[in-house]
Amino acid sequence: MDVSPNLTPNLEKRVDALLDKVARDYLKKSDTSVSSVIELYQYKLAAVDKTVRTVQHSLEAADRLTTSLQHNAALTKTEVARLHQTLHCAQQRCETLAEENAKLSERIGEIEERTSDLHKKHSQCKKIKTNPLPSRLLT
């Protein structure tokens, strides 16, 4: 950031003229009028005061921005915590569903096995009914 005094063109010309006059007077080794030096310092003080106000405004703007960013960071932190909790709950639910799925798969396997056994028995019974024993085996 440039902290050099911001002078209007007219004011800058007056300051330059005063500096030239002080320099000429100094070179002549004559007495510089106190009023000229005081006027020069008043212009310089005005320029410094303007710079201080500009820096103060910039500082206030930076402070507002910092406050805003801190607020946004707090909101983001809250959102991250909420999403973390949601993810944790979803992970637990996924694990529970995986356990239930494993149990159901095991149960389906048992039912398929029993169904297969029943089907075999039914097929054997059907064979026996369609192929009766020879009469000589019955006696």
For the chain, give the mean pLDDT: 84
- Burial (0-12, 13-18, 19+ Cβ within 10 Å), 43: middle
CA 110 from centre of chain: 51
Residues in CB range of 15: below 8 A, 6 or more apart: 7, 40, 43, 44, 47
Q: What is the pLDDT of residues 51-109, one digit of tens each?
A: 899 999 999 999 999 999 999 999 999 999 999 999 999 999 999 999 999 999 999 99
